[in-house]
A = this chain, B = another copy of it.
């Protein structure tokens, strides 16, 4: 009953959109190499599956694991993927029959559908109008999902609370000298967050001590190298409650040289600047441009975007970057991660990242990561 209250209204918004676009059926696919959290957003189903939505306002889920689907999924119908030899095309043809679509109906598949695979869809669904386009179902879902509903904010608050607890615990352990290596830090986050009820981590925890913090995303993600010693260390992680992930980065600073202090000060100032510009109605590119300009003034370039929305995915709408194709505007209900950072092969790297809910007139900080000076 509770699940239905969450997922059915989301599907209704897609059905409305389908009716407006005269789309008879939408197919979504969540598979290895092409993950799609839209199926979880629309039904609660967390794993591999196909989802078919009919403009007649019915949903058909085709999961890999029916046992899991029976527990998690809110959908009108379930059919096992194994019944179709785990082949999307077979399942799709069956869904067309199941919903009784008349020939000529519009069927939309996701824009990430590979070109050769789409050609096979066209052939197999001869007589139907099969669409695969950038301007269709995917951006509609991205737009809807960029503004979080009450159930989603509840999950964020849960994830943010544990994230803050873990940050405090990490700082304490660091000050006590109990975290010595990158493995110590990452293993603590990964196990302790689950012990505190998290579903998992939103992405592989990144722990980079002074010898490896020069990389945006250290490779490997963590290792036996020293963490929190002299220089700059970076810790980037996200904790998940009921699917929704935080995304925070803290920098640990100890015994910095003057150039390292300057690098860190630039990042801290950029962070404050960025947060001060975020308001409903502001183009996200403007916030990114302000930070880029501040770094440029100091002769520095940030090698990644300033931020991004978070949710069921660690990166979702809105994008926060200065690029011609970025048309996002901050709006109430969006939840974003802001993460200015600078990286130098010799000095190391530093990044500060927290998550913010966009409110009616500004931002509310959900997480409280920080620079930890030892």
Contacts and interface: CB of A to CB of B under 8 A. Distances in A.
Interface of A: 32-35, 46-47, 64-65, 67-68, 72, 80, 82, 85, 111-118, 132-134, 183, 186-187, 190-191, 194-195, 197, 199-200, 204, 214-217, 219-224, 301, 303-304, 315, 323-324, 343, 345
A113 B111 contact: no
Contacts of A204: 200
Task: Specify how many copies of this chain sit in the oligomer.
Answer: 2
Given A34-B34, A65-B303, A187-B191, A219 B46 contact: yes
Given A183-B191, A194-B183, A303-B65, A217 B114 contact: no
Contacts of A304: 64
Q: For the complex of A and B, list the 10 residue pairs with the smallest distance between their C-beta atoms, beginning with the closest.
A: A187-B191, A115-B118, A115-B132, A199-B220, A116-B134, A115-B115, A112-B114, A183-B194, A65-B216, A46-B219
Given A187-B191, A191-B187, A194-B183, A301 B82 contact: yes
A45 to B, nearest CB: 10
Contacts of A219: 46-47, 68, 72
A186 B191 CA distance: 8
A114 to B, nearest CB: 5
Contact of A345 (B67, B200, B324): B67
Q: Which of A72, A82, A115, A222 has the most CB of B within 10 A?
A: A115
A119 to B, nearest CB: 8
Contacts of A323: 85
Contact of A195 (B133, B224, B303, B315): B224
Contacts of A72: 219
A303 B82 contact: yes
Contact of A114 (B114, B183, B315): B114
Contacts of A82: 301, 303
A163 B362 CA distance: 50
A183 B192 CA distance: 9
A183 B79 CA distance: 32
Contacts of A199: 220, 223
Nearest to A48: B217
Nearest to A111: B116
Contacts of A221: 200
A303 B221 CA distance: 33
A68 B219 CA distance: 8
A215 B303 contact: no
A65 B216 CA distance: 7
Contact of A113 (B115, B224, B345): B115
9 contacts: A33-B35, A46-B219, A47-B219, A64-B303, A111-B115, A111-B116, A183-B194, A187-B194, A194-B224
Contacts of A118: 115
Nearest to A321: B86
Nearest to A223: B194
A323 B81 CA distance: 14
A7 to B, nearest CB: 16
A213 to B, nearest CB: 11
A43 to B, nearest CB: 14
